[in-house]
Structure 1
């Protein structure tokens, strides 16, 4: 079964009528500030969407807000998701696929991609619950578990050392390290982590922070330390296509390291350019960058073009991470899984959805993705 065949059948054949649709702010403090090269977040200020169908089944979605990455702020996301909820309540009974088209019409392009993703999630979740099928089965049924990495944001070497030791105890084998603000500090942090977690795999994520030559220098310094990251994510600015291509060539030929596009691969148009110009080896799929429907198209095209896949998130609760996790488990073709952000939150407002056993997430056989807000 192809990744989306069960999902395609559902969209083409299942008829829905929305009884209730509402949105609310989803504010959760973080355990500590989440600092990346392009921004700093002290708490999550997202938007939750709840949709109830005429049969009584309820679906949940989440529109994440990450300054400098998502186009929407929380206020815009609240306004646009309210508009979408109004539209859904007014629609006559129709096929799920047509409802999703209507959502795409009112929330077009990158400008409203995060809200579109949240509303699509809630709609698909409610429909999957109605037919009693868990999302991981709907998206292909490859597996009902995933293993995630965990992120260390930009912190001091001492703090990085503490976190790495803690995550080692908890069973995390892959650490994703935020870099890109200060080359010297980045190297010091890497050394500190290596001392306490010598066997871990590293993903470096620069969030567009380096200049082309700095990105190459990082790889050279790591090589001298006998450290080979498994992935180097978005080393340079999203519009620096030539730089990204150059870093990919050097990383692969000289150091055997794969390079991923994240901010440079926001939608299908970006992916087509990446394929045409042979820019990177890996693309990071995030539902909030393109919405759920377009993400499925991006995944299929990347796979058929020989580009490897990573799945990630903005800074989301288990509502959005649960949906993304179901999708990744069901499709089963993601080499890199970075769905750790619920573990960085100071509280968890979400019930159900999945069990987190250290780095392993196990998804239930309930219909939909099973997560809901108390």
Structure 2
């Protein structure tokens, strides 16, 4: 069954409230939607959202990669040779991981529609998945309020964005823990915002206070692997690599070099479903667990991430709340408390 067309459109989706990290503030997303059309009319859909500060991609660059080299290299290919088509997408241009992810998702979707399977079934698993809720960087009082609201809404795991101000981070943590139950689990995401020695000092302080922190995500700059290893070697709390891990090669280097304890996989970083599954398997072979996460994206691409999470046994942590921040959009996920279902 040949691929007849690859269509691209972009929609602007506002957020219900600003999403703030140590790297950026987001008030709306530019959702680039890809539709793959087979010769019998079967379609598959994918999407990507640009994140300049992480992948280096803009809406314009994603659109250009999709309507240019990616489209030119998949039109006329046989969808039943899915692995070869996906390989072509990865090799047709350098970088452009979000554009590749959008195409990869759409191709998986079209193939699974063609053979009558869900993507998670095709990938080989359908375990139940949940999500944490993110508390974005803000004033101490605002973060305390947002954490309390998330717990009241039924979330037992909170992902706390920190990293823009170390002194404030200490106050933020104390304020949050003063209003949430002791049973709540916290994950801290510094988004590259700390210096190595500063990170160690902060994390050790949190450890001494016995804060219920499950892991710390990307405490230092993505390029500072020596700094990342320094932090990992000098604290007890597990350290997760995020922006430092884009590809399978990155995963091998960080795992074998002892730079991290855990890895955060994002489709927009690695280039899609197929590459995400490879990273999870590589990590599994080395005894390193993974989390599935997302940028600020629509439910189209987050649903694809959820299907990867449902399928791969080594993806043990889930951060899939991005669609809950969007004001209006077609939804491909159903949220029941902290549980996530693909629809």
Query: Which TM class, normalised by the smaller chain length?
Result: over 0.9
What is the match of residue 156 of structure 2? Answer: 173
Residue matched to 1:328 = 309
Gaps in structure 2 of 5+ consecutive residues:
none
Specify the alignment match of 1:372 in structure 2: none
RMSD, aligned CA: 1.7
Give matches, 1:56-95, under 5 Å: 56-84=41-69, 86-87=71-72, 90-93=75-78, 95=81
SS in 1 for 2:67: helix
Question: How many Å apart are 1:105 and its aligned residue?
Answer: 2.6
* Alpha-carbon distance between aligned partners in 2 of 1:97 and 1:20, rounded to the nearest angstrom: 18
Q: CA deviation at 1:225?
A: 3.2
Higher RCO structure, 1 or 2 (CA under 8 Å, sep 6+): 1
Structure 1: where are the runs of 5+ without partners? 1-15, 365-374
Query: Could you say which residue in structure 2 is the equivalent of 1:356?
Result: 335
| Structure 1 residue 247 displacement after superposition | 1.1
The count of residues paired between Structure 1 and Structure 2 equals 340
- Secondary structure of the corresponding residue to residue 196 of structure 1: coil
Cα separation, 1, equivalents of 2:314 and 2:25? 31
8 Å contact from structure 1 (residues 23, 85) kept in 2: no
Which of 73, 83, 93 lines up with 1:107 in the alignment?
93
Which one of the candidate residues 305, 308, 311 is aligned to 2:286? Answer: 305
SS in structure 2 of the partner of residue 350 of structure 1: coil
Distance 1:228-1:219 versus aligned 2 partners, 3 A rule: farther
Residue 200, structure 1, aligned to residue 179, structure 2: no
Displacement of 1:78: 1.2
Distance (Å, rounded) in 2 between the aligned partners of 1:209 and 1:93: 45
When residues 93 and 136 of structure 1 are mapped into structure 2, their CA distance, relative to the original with a 3 A threshold, is closer
- CA deviation after TM superposition for structure 1 residue 85, in Å: 6.1
In the superposition, the TM-score normalised over structure 2's length comes to: 0.94
Aligned in 2, Cα 1:26/1:70: closer, same or farther, shift over 3 Å? Answer: farther
Which position in structure 2 is the counterpart of 1:284? 264
Q: Does 2:238 match 1:258?
A: yes
The CA distance in 2 between the partners of 1:282 and 1:89, in whole Å, is: 34
Mapping of 1:1-374 within 5 angstroms? 16-84=1-69, 86-87=71-72, 90-93=75-78, 95-108=81-94, 111-143=95-127, 145-198=128-181, 199-252=183-236, 257-292=237-272, 293-347=274-328, 349-351=329-331, 353-364=332-343
1:295 Cα offset (Å): 2.0
Aligned partner of residue 230 in structure 1, secondary structure: strand
Question: Over residues 173-222 of structure 1, what are the superposed CA-to-partner deviations in whole Å (9 max), with x where a residue is unaligned?
Answer: 11111111101111211122112212311111011110011111211222
Task: Give, in whole Å, the separation in 2 of the partners of 1:318 and 1:209.
Answer: 28
Between the aligned partners of 1:229 and 1:235, the Cα distance in structure 2 is 14
